[in-house]
Amino acid sequence: MPGKLKAKIVAGRHLPVMDRASDLTDAFVEVKFGNTTFKTDVCPKSLNPQWNSEWFKFEVDDEDLQDEPLQVTVLDHDTYSANDAIGKVYIDIDPLLCSEAASIISGWFPIYDTIHGIRGEINVLVKVELFNDLNRFRQSSCGVKFFCTTSIPRGYRATMVHGFVEELVVNEDPEYQWIDRIRTPRASNEARQRLISLMSGELQRKIGLKVLEMGGNAVVGYLQCFDLEGESGLVVRAIGTACTLEKITSGSAPMCCPLPNTAPASNACNSPSKDGKESPLTHGCRSTHNSPVHSACSSQRLSQNFSVSVPTLIFTGMGSGGSAGKEAGPLKTLLRQQTQTALEQREFPFFTLTSFPPGFLVHVGGVVSARSVKLLDRIHNPDEPETRDAWWEEIRQEIKSHAKALGCHAVVGYSENTSICEEVCILSASGTAAILNPRYMREGCLDFGSTDHRFEEPSPPTCGFCHIPYDELNMPFPAQLAYCYQCRRQKVPDVLFTTIDLPPEAAVTGKGCLIQARLCRLKKKAQGEVNATAISNLLPFMEYELHTQLMNKLKLRSMNALFGLHIQISVGENMLLGLASATGVYLMALPAPGGIQIAGKTPGDLNNEQHISTIQKRINDTIAKNKELYQINPPELTEEGVGSPIPEPRQRSRLFRSHSESSDELSELDLSHGKKDAFVLEIDDTDAVEDIHSLLTDASPPSGFHSCNTETMPGIYNWTTAIQMFTSVRVLRLNNTNLTNQGLNKIFTDLCENLLKSFYFKLRSMIPCCLCQLNFTVAVPEEELVQVSVTAVAMTFDKDQNQEKPLEKSITKGGSETEEQLQFPLELCADSSSTSSQPFSRISGVPENSSVSTRAASVDYGSFADRCSTWLELLRLKAHTIRRGSVKTSRRTQSLAHSVSSLEHCSPLTDVRSRSLRSSRSFGGSSVTTVKMTPLSFLPGTRIIKYLGIINMFFIRETTSLREEGGVSGFLHSFIAEVFAMVRAHVAALGGNAVVSYSMKDCVLMENPNKNQAQCLINVSGDAVMCVRETDQEQMTSMTSTGQTCSSTDGAT
Amino acid sequence: MAVELDVFVGNTTIMDEEVYQLWLDGYTVNDAVKVRMEGGVLDEIEASADVLLSDTMDQYRTFQMCERLLHSPTKLANQLLFQIPPHRQAMLIERYYTFDDAFVREVLGKKLSKGTKKDLDDISAKTGVTLKSCRRQFDNFKRVFKVVEELKGPLVENIRQHFLLSDKLARDYAAIVFFANNRFETGKKKLQYLNFQDFAFCAGQLINNWTVGAVDNLVEDMDVDLDKEFLQELKELKVLITDKDLLDQHKSLVCTALRGKTKAFNEMEANFKNLSRGLVNIATKLTNTKDVRDFFIDLVEKFIEPCRSDRWTAADVKLYLTHYTNSAHILDTFKHQVVWDRYMGVIKSCIFKMYHD
């Protein structure tokens, strides 16, 4: 018995009246875990019962502890008939299994019923006693920490990043079992909720096992999804990045990174000699599989850093159709093996992270994505995960080969998703091909945690990640290369698309903005293979058009790079919806974007030409307006301040500017006209008319507002503390049956635009404010219905942006906590990164003069990584870096010395505690703890002092009285509010006061207004944290500069 | 093409005070949109009427969901469904329980029953307050009435604690409850000139001086019911008008004191017996529930109207009543000083308050 779970039921309040006669309730509680059930006494005739029960003790395997939730059911006692259920609470025990997370769960939980929603609250206490369990064949993975956050969590140091972990479990969907026809909707919903809770517990446990095998202790960027396949089953799958995390405590010295047993072993097998035949760039992210896929794909590859897979059709699970001939061999080896070793895990050098420590990311190649259409009713053995595993393996292989074609050995910002309509399922995966620092890969692991202290790490040039990773002479797609506008040594593409966040060291000018491409394509209704073929034929065109739209909109805003790109293609019975969202920025390293030119096919036609010139003028005006709006002032002056550590936006080389001028708008456009490049629009083309239309109808945010879909907004760094997280859902019914593609596009575009306008209006009291992490999800729940769900956070910032201030401060102070915290100066640093191109050296407290040499060295190094295309060169690189390392010893000692002093500086534990006390007082204004929620990984003006565990909740709500509940809107409105309430209650019970990296993964709404019925499923996740108000000026230089950090937090209303 | 569903839910519940007021005032969504548009909210930020409609609908839904909680405001503070900062909660409650003086004037002293509710239509038409708003206000009165009816302790304090209202609003509700419980007649034509605040003041006086709670503060209904013993004792005051000597003595004392101090002296002297009879008769009849109901109309008919027809100023009334009360103390044979003070103290302040146009 490796664990003892103890639960105590204290009291209830606000219970519903269950006995109409007395207007009271005789409530009692059943506490169930696994197969054991305990009951409290009946508390007669009370709506606020006090049970104050004994401690119910469950002796269970830790495996069960991980899989099972604690199930608390509140019932109304009835002497004569069956007891009526009031509602339930499912409590995930997982946070208690990890010593660093919560130690007790204690608080008021909403009592939830799938038919009636929240019905009162119950106060529960839960504790776990774990016994040491040695020498057992481990099935449990207690203690592995999970984080939804897609960066290294604050307060932690990654001593090792092991790589990609994935898992998938399948079960029959209770909703589709025959028994469902005779049981009540409530029983069915509850069976489903319970099953999914069990499955995600199991999934997490299995992933945990893989992490342990790899030698890690945590999963970062954990992304779990549900596929409601219908008849063929219910799939829960998850991906993440396995890491070894170490808590940064004031006591611990910058440690030697202990290499876990399994990992080095696997890495040893992973030696370059074995993989000699392969490109050494894949070293450390070895593949045993010579992917044949991408040769087929290269023909489909589109321009501008963007490769699209041929959507392969495989009708049966065993790969006997479509392109399977080619893949049959590898596929077999890819089939699921129960004992997947750490070695095999490295097969996919994928990282679900989107933010990295500086220097980790060497080059970024571009977005890689793959999609595949599958038929669910052809799954051979639907109850087993093999088929789905094989599908995903296939997609991942494709992604990997795309990355390879871009000259990259890794994929970062990786994510997967599906869209299901009846029996058709589109699987999608996307990420950003990248080259990671070989130095970090040297030991076969990404030991970037200790680099600050142990290694002499030259800062890479801030423009390094923009440099092309692929061979200039053998480009994977047509692109116009230019010399980097910052270092002038390396080639950069004219445009860069990525799925990751803007690296903190990147130099940008002006502000960023949300850019969306929206597309609707009609398709004939069809069944089975015909349908799948039709969809897969449409997919490449959709991707192409979305890409073209993105490109045009980017140029219209006079920007040259996209971050956080997320493309979703959703399938419905008679249409496909495509939505691409990204944050556009102007990267200083990339050439200035050309304009957009309109060309007519029939020159000479005077009317036409006039029309064209009118449109051209409008476009040019818009570009000019946008430049002003987003404050894009690309550098134009000649003198490059060589000695200056901070390249001021204005201090730019004239030389290179002239280069861009030579290829400036008109001339460049004329040249590319023949190629029908992305930014020449032929007006005779109906698509182009549509494009122009959508280009010019996109409204920019009203003044005082900014928007982005990334963690932070480039160009804004002085956040104040007010935040408002929100979820909005809109469903449109298309009554008009004979709609054209164009008409649909307009409707869809308007839908998205109107949503944004609504947000701006609702949040107007927060001006100046920025909507961050705007996450749009589209779905076609039924024929003629289009659903868009958005979750985002609005954050206020101080309008008076003093560009110099944060920079100055951080240099002079280099505060103790700052260094510790910002070991990976991710978002915090991004706040100030607009002005600073070298936050790395700045933050580690290196005197300014040293950054000059750093710069030079790293430029050198960047070129090196580019050229290294053979193993020999990699060796040479090693030699080189070693040599360089010795040169830079002086700097290392400096930073070491600094870090020691910073440790002394660091506040002792008691200080932290007193601060947290102070904060809990300030949070405890009312009897209910205020719980903040944000989709970002941080809360402005606060410091996360503890991660309390992952929140992963799934709810179903159903109604048979839709009208009485205010129609679908009323129904969903209260359901979303209830979900928020339940998330907050669980966080508060864990002792937390905020949720970071919150996301709503699924919101599946089914309605039948004629029958007065509706059902909705919502899945949410995030990291429960405890944070304290950051009042200390020393600690958060970039934020306190405003002097408003202590201002009231409820200004969000 | 139609919007089938449109919701926006914030982690911190977003509530616009202006929209809340429109909702409370019973505006329909479309009317509220019109009012907001005229208010120029669209100019603040570039937005269209659609946006305004969507926002208004969202807020109306939120308010509807909150309404259940507002019915028992103490729940609002520890419910989990809506995350609302405390100061916003206070605002929501206070505004929800705020009523229109025009409306309350119509139902003041009436039985808060369903029968009356049917009359809400008429009241709505008469006062111009929307029916929806009338319903809310009426239901609020009823709810507060029902809750405090069964509670011990001071009325105002009970209301404040159970409904988390401001002191001022709690006092007003106490007045409403008090009037409803004693069914004071306020609707007669002669009383029309009085506004709610006049009555609320009088109610406060009665509650503080004439109820059981004024002497013993641990009885049920202590602030709602008049002190029966006191009402019985009031019968003893009859001697002031039945005993001829006492009446004359009283008159001469008052007249001596008033002489030369007011222009209305002659009228005062002439009317003394009439007025005194009026006031003492009111006192002696208060044991009858029916006469309690007519308390205010009696005050107007028996005292205020005669004075007004003689063109007494408010100062005159004050002067007269002061001397009238004090002189009784000097009467040797008059033994009921305590009851007299308890009675006249309230009468005096009520009449001061009620003596206006």
Q: Could you tell me if residue B211 is inside a domain?
A: no
Within a domain: residue B222? no
Q: How far apart are CA A497 and CA A908, in angstroms?
A: 44
Provide ipTM, 2 decimals: 0.88
- pLDDT at position A302 is 35
Q: Do residues A501 and A357 touch, judged by C-beta distance below 8 A?
A: no
For A1053, the closest of B51, B78, B88 (CB atoms) is B88
pLDDT band at A28 (very low <50, low <70, confident <90, very high): very high
Distance CA(B180)–CA(A667), nearest Å, equals: 87
The count of domains in chain B is 3
Sign of CA dihedral A804, A807, A811, A816: positive
Judge if B175 and B250 occupy the same domain. Answer: no
**Does pLDDT of A821 surpass 70?**
no
Q: What pLDDT was estimated at residue B198?
A: 92
- pLDDT over 80 (residue A220): yes
pLDDT, mean of residues A420-428:
90
| Tens of pLDDT, residues A981-1021 | 999 999 999 999 999 999 998 899 988 888 899 999 999 99
Candidate from A218-232, A827-841, B122-136 with smallest mean pLDDT: A827-841
Residue at token pair 């790969």 = A319
pLDDT at position A338, please? 31
Measure in Å the smallest separation between the Cα of A736 and chain B Cα atoms. Answer: 7
Residue B194 lies inside a defined structural domain of this protein: no
Q: Are B86 and B122 contained in the same domain?
A: no
Coil, strand or helix at A553:
helix
Do you find a cis peptide bond into A768, omega within 30 degrees of 0? yes
Return the number of other C-beta atoms located less than 10 Å from residue A237's C-beta: 22
Torsions phi, psi for A725 (to 5 deg): -90, 145
* Alpha carbons A341 and A619: distance in angstroms, whole number: 56
Interface contact B2-A728, CB threshold 8 A? no
The answer on B80 and B66 residing in a single domain is yes
For the record, the structure tokens of B56 come out as 């208004």
The two tokens of residue A830 are 């991004």
- DSSP for A345-411 reads HTTS-B---S---TTTEEEEEEEEEEEEEEEGGG-SSTTSSHHHHHHHHHHHHHHHHHHHHTT-SEE
Give SS3 for A182: coil
CB A350 within 8 A of CB A164: yes
Give the pLDDT band of residue A645 (cuts 50, 70, 90): very low
User: Does one domain contain both B327 and B313?
Assistant: yes
Query: Are B332 and B233 found together in one domain?
Result: yes
Q: Taking residues A326-352, report their average pLDDT.
A: 46
Kindly report the CA angle at A853 between A849 and A858, in degrees rounded to 5? 135
State the Cα–Cα distance between residues A422 and A368, nearest whole angstrom.
28
Same domain, B336 and B240: yes
Listed in sequence order, the residues at least 6 apart from A359 whose beta carbon sits closer than 8 Å to its beta carbon are: A437, A448, A451, A457, A459, A460, A840
Q: In the listed set B187, B204, B238, which residue is the last one of a domain according to the structure? A: B187
Instruction: Kindly determine whether residue B14 and residue A724, on different chains, have CB atoms separated by under 8 Å.
Output: yes
Q: Do residue B124 and residue B53 come from a single domain?
A: no
Question: Taking 80 as the threshold, does the pLDDT of residue B81 lie above it?
Answer: yes
User: Which of these ranges, A312-321, A334-343, A507-516, A812-821, has the smallest mean pLDDT?
Assistant: A312-321
- B-side interface with A, Cβ within 8 Å? 1-15, 44-48, 50-52, 54-55, 57-58, 61-62, 64-65, 75, 77-89
Q: For residues B110 and B69, state if they share a domain.
A: no
Q: Confirm whether B179 is domain-assigned.
A: yes
Using pLDDT thresholds of 50, 70 and 90, give the confidence band for residue A434.
Answer: confident
- Are residues B120 and B50 both part of a single domain? no
pLDDT of residue A922 exceeding 90: no
In a domain, B192, yes or no: no
Residue A512 scores a pLDDT above 50: yes
A917 or A969: whose pLDDT is higher? A969
The pLDDT assigned to B19 comes to 94
Q: What is the pLDDT of residues A703-759, one digit of tens each?
A: 888 999 998 888 888 888 889 999 999 999 887 667 788 888 888 988 999 999 999
Q: Which of A726, A761, A977 sits opposite B81 (nearest CB)?
A: A977
In a domain, B215, yes or no: no
A980 vs B11: CB contact, 8 Å cut-off?
A: yes
Q: Stretch A354-383: mean pLDDT, rounded?
A: 84
What per-residue string of b and e applies to A835-873 under the rule 16 or more CB within 10 Å gives b? bbbbbbbbbbbbeeebbeebbebbbebbbbbbebeebee
The shortest CB-CB distance from B45 to any of A110, A702, A978 is to A702
Q: What is the pTM of this model?
A: 0.80
Identify the structural domains of chain A with CATH numbers, from first to last. Answer: 1-133 (2.60.40.150), 141-248 (3.30.110.70), 345-444+462-632+676-723+736-776 (no CATH), 929-1032 (3.30.110.70)
Q: Are residues A980 and B9, on separate chains, in Cβ contact within 8 Å?
A: yes
Q: Is the pLDDT of residue A88 over 90?
A: yes
Three-state helix/strand/coil letters over A845-871: CCCCCHHHHHHHHHHHHHHHHHHCCCH
pLDDT, tens digit, for every residue of A440-450?
544 444 444 44
pLDDT in the model for residue B328: 84
List the one residue out of A645, A383, A331, A662 whose CA is nearest residue A507. Answer: A645
Q: What is the mean pLDDT of chain A?
A: 71
Q: What is the pLDDT of residue B159?
A: 92
* pLDDT digits 0-9 by tens, B95-105: 999 999 999 99
Do residues B91 and B176 share a domain? no
Q: Which band of pLDDT confidence, cut at 50, 70 and 90, is reported for residue B117?
A: low
User: Which range among A881-895, A1039-1053, B340-354 has the greatest average pLDDT?
Assistant: B340-354
Indicate the pairing of strand A105-113 with strand A36-39. unpaired
What pLDDT is recorded for position A9?
95
Q: If pLDDT is split at 50, 70 and 90, which confidence band does B229 have?
A: confident
Percent of chain A with pLDDT over 90: 26
Q: Single out the residue in B187, B210, B245 at which a domain terminates.
A: B187
Residue A282 has pLDDT above 60, yes or no: no
Q: Return the pLDDT at A466.
A: 82
pLDDT band with cut points at 50, 70 and 90 for residue A52: very high
Long-range contacts for B160-164 (Cβ within 8 Å, ≥24 apart)? B162/B72, B162/B73, B162/B74, B163/B73, B163/B93, B163/B97, B164/B73, B164/B74, B164/B76, B164/B77, B164/B90, B164/B93
User: What's the distance, CA B208 to chain centroid?
Assistant: 14
Predicted pLDDT at A439: 57
DSSP for A726-757, written as a single string: EEEEEEEE---SS--HHHHHHHHHHHHHHHHH
Question: Which pLDDT does position A250 carry in this prediction?
Answer: 52
Say what the pLDDT of residue A885 is: 32
Hey, which of A357-371, A681-695, A965-979 has the most confident mean pLDDT?
A965-979
- Distance from chain centroid for Cα A958: 29
Whether A321 shows a pLDDT value over 80: the answer reads no
Give A649's DSSP letter.
T
In a domain, B258, yes or no: yes
**Percent of chain B residues topping a pLDDT of 90:** 35
State the DSSP string of A117-181: EEEEEEEEEEEEEEPP--SS-----TT-EE---SSPPTTEEEEEEEEEEEEEEEE--GGGSGGGG
| pLDDT at residue A979 greater than cutoff 90 | yes
Give the range among A229-238, A239-248, B261-270 with minimum mean pLDDT. Answer: B261-270
| Boundary of a domain, candidates B77, B97, B117 | B97
Range of the domain at B289: 228-354
CB–CB contact B4 A731 (8 Å) = yes
**Contact predicate B275/B325, CB 8 Å:** no
B63 and B138 co-located in one domain: no
B46/B111 same-domain check = no
**Is B310 part of any domain?**
yes
pLDDT at residue A340 greater than cutoff 70: no
Contacts of B86 in chain A (CB under 8 A): 925-926
- Check whether A272 has a pLDDT greater than 60: no
Residues of A in contact with B6 (CB under 8 A): 729-731, 969
